[in-house]
A = this chain, B = another copy of it.
Amino acid sequence: MQQPDSLQYLGVRDDIAARIAGGAFKPGERLPSERQLQAGGGVARGTVREALFQLEAEGVIYRKDRSGWYVSPPPVVYDPTRWEGFMSYVEAQGRRPETETLSKVEIVADDMLAQIFSRPVGAPMYWIRRRRLIDGRAVLIESIIVDAARAPGLIDHDLNGSLTSVLKSVYGIGVARNKVDMRPCALTRDEAEALRVKSGLPGLSLVRTCYDAQGHVVEFDREYWRHDALTVSVDIRVR
């Protein structure tokens, strides 16, 4: 599957990429519309879109539905071993973090949750869904489960800040160990809708299990990130 430069859409891609690299469009700025790019390049709109899809896959640009194509800001660096919460982490990198709580409800543990938390099926749990933004752009959606018995009344607190610090300061629960699973994925249906992206856009699925010093599960967290929003960095000793 060679890429001879004879392919028109790669030519259009290179043209737009060069203009972005040259500073003609800055991070966050809008590109000309597809129809304008089409006229400028003398190609069909489908070809322009193919070029834009390439740049989107590379993380160079992103789209807002029916609004336009925009130049991507740089990604944040994520180190699971140094993670102390989204808000402080993002702020430390000079970006503006925001959190929106989409829902918070009490549920009962199903088989999977019961096993994860080592609790009986039917045990009360809190289910929190949040959307998190960087510089005004939604970058991840997360679904958190916390054992209600260990943090009674948790969902009555303001959860738009750091959940970790609420658990620590209000309930005295600290995190001693993290297990993180990562997997490239496609953002589909619910996640895509919540992040306001087109279904099928590549993303990163991140499943975090937090344990306290006694080895009990404190928090079980599924996150779906935009693929262009982060870099993961892990520094570990070989066992």
Contacts and interface: CB of A to CB of B under 8 A. Distances in A.
Interface in A152-187: 175-186
A44 interface: no
A15 to B, nearest CB: 16
A88 interface: no
Interface string A223-238: 0000110111111111
A211 to B, nearest CB: 9
Contacts of A203: 184
B80 A176 contact: no
B202 A233 contact: no
Contact of A235 (B179, B192, B198): B179
Interface in A2-30: 2-3, 10
B58 A185 contact: yes
Contact of A234 (B180, B185, B239): B180
Interface in A42-100: 53-54, 57-59, 65, 75, 80-83
Interface string A188-225: 11001100111111111000000000000000000000
Contacts of A177: 235-238
A1 interface: yes
Contacts of A180: 233-236
Nearest to A183: B231
A140 to B, nearest CB: 13
Q: Name, among A3, A180, A238, the residue most crowded by chain B CB atoms within 10 Å (CB to CB).
A: A238
Interface in A137-156: none
A194 B134 CA distance: 35
Interface of A: 1-3, 10, 53-54, 57-59, 65, 75, 80-83, 175-186, 188-189, 192-193, 196-204, 227-228, 230-239
Closest 7 CB pairs of A and B: A202-B202, A184-B227, A57-B186, A182-B232, A58-B186, A54-B200, A183-B231
